A and B are shown apart, each in its own frame.
Chain A
Amino acid sequence: MRIKLKVWRQKNNKDKGGFKTYDLEDISTDMSFLEMFDVLNEKLVRQGEDPVHFDHDCREGICGMCSLYINGKPHGPKQTTTCQLHMRSFSDGDTITVEPWRATAFPVLKDLVVDRSAFDRVIQSGGYVSVNTGGVPDANEIPIPKKAADKAMDAATCIGCGACVAACKNASAMLFVSAKISQFALLPQGQTERKTRAEKMVAQMDAEGFGACTNTGACSAECPKEISLTNIAMMNREFFGAKLSSDNI
């Protein structure tokens, strides 16, 4: 298939940047979106041009490293990660616009690569448990109802890719932060630091400059791991409950 790629090129963090158009021919429909970029980059390298920089790692849809805002949607037209998006999702002759995630908290480093370390700092502020959880325990040894375990696991499937921030009209990180708060709040191992965790992670989220939630639901609709909006409601309960009852003055 033949496609026209409109790609955001930006030399570095200081550069203003702009779109550049590339025509690609003989693209296989079986290629993943990132493989299509590999083809483009090989071509650019042969021509002595700077290849397009983009983030990727596992290419199995589990690491959360790939990003890309494709035709107005994070991770493109399918509700999956960019690495699991295939060229068969596009038609011959399509123009595909590829942009980096846009958020103050995610500054563009080069081309399509953004710095998502704001998420790391949110995790460092409280997204952990300080108790030793040991090896895999025998079944039913820890009193966790199946429903609670399922809910915690649903929240924990968040891979921290940042599609929620990219999709949100306010560049809000609430879906990410709420998933990370919920996954621990639902399990007994997370109880010790439960209140402090909610307080600190929300404070760090604000300090990073993410926007507020308008409950549009765009984050959840675009999340490759289908993280639910119920987590945001839970975060609100956790945060205000903690603020009212914790001994952190």
Chain B
Amino acid sequence: MSWFSDTISSTLGRKVLMALTGLFLIIFLLVHLIGNFQLLHADDGQAFNIYAKFMTSNPIIKTTSYLLYATFIIHIVWAILLSVQNKKARPVGYAVSAAATNSSWSSRNMGILGTIVFIFLVLHLKHFWYEMHWGGIPTVMYDGVEFKDLYAVVNMAYGELWYVVFYVLAMGGLMFHLYHGFQSAFQTLGLNHPKYTPVIKGVGIVYSIAVPAAFAAIPLIMFLRTI
């Protein structure tokens, strides 16, 4: 099996892991967004709470969620590994750099953008994911069945201006991260073709703007409803 470990530990292997986990996270974002739209129903959170219970109890979703946790960890750990390797490849930098003339800003700052998204992720998990699983959150009854009132927790967080501002800024970081990452993942997988690459790039631009914008719109709308 040395051929397998050689492949995975090679520079190309590491990059492919980044691409595959990145693409899986891109799909996850869309699923998460569709779920978040439940927050906008004018039903005091019933649709959202039912959805949240389904997402934490359905066996298929639960299994997939473990894959998702692993994906996040691999994407983050391998990003650190690659950043260290890349730093080692050029320990002495240049005195003058004109990088802006040959490459996009987001492509050169994926690490910083990723770190912004990571900080957001940690707080986001603490506020909602941890609370839903292990926190003491209030419950509500719908048709005689008890549900955790995650909506109340979300609604309270989105009523705080600092949290909404932080959320919107983090989505800005995600936007630039996806703007480069989406098409970059396909290139790393070797999928560069005169027929499909323009389509991938076009879809990537639309996706990277639309999805974070839609995510950011939800807390904004909910904040505006509270005032």
Residues on A lying within 8 angstroms of B by beta carbon are 6, 19, 69, 71-73, 97, 99, 102-105, 167, 169-172, 202-203, 205-206, 209-218, 221-222, 229-230, 232-237, 239-240, 243, 248-249
- Contact of A73 (CB < 8 Å), options: B7, B91, B98, B190: B98
- Contact of A211 (CB < 8 Å), options: B90, B92, B101, B108: B90
Nearest-neighbour CB distance to chain B for A232, whole angstroms, equals 7
Instruction: State in angstroms the CA–CA spacing of A73 and B71 once bound together.
Output: 37
Which chain A positions have C-beta within 8 A of B103? 169, 216-218, 221
Scoring B86, B89, B103, B191 by chain A CB atoms within 10 A of each residue's CB, the highest score goes to B89
Residue B104, interface by CB 8 Å: yes
Given contacts A72-B98, A248-B3, contact A212 B82 (CB under 8 A): yes
Instruction: State in angstroms the CA–CA spacing of A172 and B14 once bound together.
Output: 14
Given contacts A102-B90, A172-B89, A211-B86, contact A237 B99 (CB under 8 A): no
Which chain A positions have C-beta within 8 A of B101? 72-73, 221
Instruction: State in angstroms the CA–CA spacing of A221 and B104 once bound together.
Output: 11
For B91, the closest partner residue in chain A by CB is: A104
Which chain A positions have C-beta within 8 A of B14? 212
Residue B94, interface by CB 8 Å: yes
For B7, the closest partner residue in chain A by CB is: A243
- Contact of A71 (CB < 8 Å), options: B11, B98, B110: B98
* Contact assessment for A240 and B98 in the assembled complex, using a CB-CB cutoff below 8 Å: no
* Contact assessment for A214 and B184 in the assembled complex, using a CB-CB cutoff below 8 Å: yes
* Contact assessment for A215 and B107 in the assembled complex, using a CB-CB cutoff below 8 Å: yes
Nearest-neighbour CB distance to chain A for B113, whole angstroms, equals 12
Given contacts A102-B94, A103-B90, contact A214 B110 (CB under 8 A): yes
For B3, the closest partner residue in chain A by CB is: A249
Instruction: State in angstroms the CA–CA spacing of A229 and B103 once bound together.
Output: 13
Residue B188, interface by CB 8 Å: yes
- 13 inter-chain pairs at a CB distance below 8 angstroms, sorted by A residue, are A71-B96, A72-B101, A170-B90, A171-B90, A172-B89, A205-B11, A210-B89, A213-B188, A216-B107, A221-B101, A236-B12, A240-B7, A249-B2
* Contact assessment for B107 and A217 in the assembled complex, using a CB-CB cutoff below 8 Å: yes
Which chain A positions have C-beta within 8 A of B90? 102-104, 169-171, 211
Residue B56, interface by CB 8 Å: no
Interface SS, B side:
helix
Given contacts A73-B98, A217-B107, A218-B99, contact A209 B89 (CB under 8 A): yes
- Contact of B95 (CB < 8 Å), options: A19, A103, A237: A19
* Contact assessment for B16 and A212 in the assembled complex, using a CB-CB cutoff below 8 Å: no
For B8, the closest partner residue in chain A by CB is: A243
Given contacts A206-B11, A212-B11, A233-B187, contact A72 B2 (CB under 8 A): no
Residue B189, interface by CB 8 Å: yes
Which chain A positions have C-beta within 8 A of B85? 211-212
* Contact assessment for A213 and B15 in the assembled complex, using a CB-CB cutoff below 8 Å: yes
Which chain B positions have C-beta within 8 A of A202? 10-12
Known contacts A104-B90, A169-B86, A216-B108; 18 additional CB pairs below 8 A are A72-B99, A73-B98, A99-B96, A169-B99, A169-B103, A171-B89, A172-B86, A212-B11, A212-B14, A212-B82, A213-B188, A214-B86, A216-B102, A217-B107, A236-B190, A239-B12, A240-B7, A249-B3
- Contact of A232 (CB < 8 Å), options: B7, B96, B180, B187: B187
* Contact assessment for A236 and B96 in the assembled complex, using a CB-CB cutoff below 8 Å: no
- The interface bits of chain B over 2-42 (1 if a CB of A lies within 8 angstroms of the residue's CB, else 0) are 11001100111011100000000000000000000000000
* Contact assessment for B89 and A167 in the assembled complex, using a CB-CB cutoff below 8 Å: no
Which chain A positions have C-beta within 8 A of B6? 203, 243
Which chain B positions have C-beta within 8 A of A211? 11, 85-86, 88-90
* Contact assessment for B102 and A102 in the assembled complex, using a CB-CB cutoff below 8 Å: no
* Contact assessment for A170 and B86 in the assembled complex, using a CB-CB cutoff below 8 Å: yes
For A79, the closest partner residue in chain B by CB is: B102
Instruction: State in angstroms the CA–CA spacing of A105 and B11 once bound together.
Output: 15
Nearest-neighbour CB distance to chain A for B72, whole angstroms, equals 20
A-B pairs with the 8 shortest C-beta distances?
A72-B98, A233-B192, A211-B89, A237-B190, A170-B86, A221-B102, A216-B103, A236-B190
* Contact assessment for A240 and B108 in the assembled complex, using a CB-CB cutoff below 8 Å: no
Which chain A positions have C-beta within 8 A of B63? none
Residue B93, interface by CB 8 Å: yes
Which chain A positions have C-beta within 8 A of B7? 240, 243
Which chain A positions have C-beta within 8 A of B15? 212-213, 236
Residue B57, interface by CB 8 Å: no
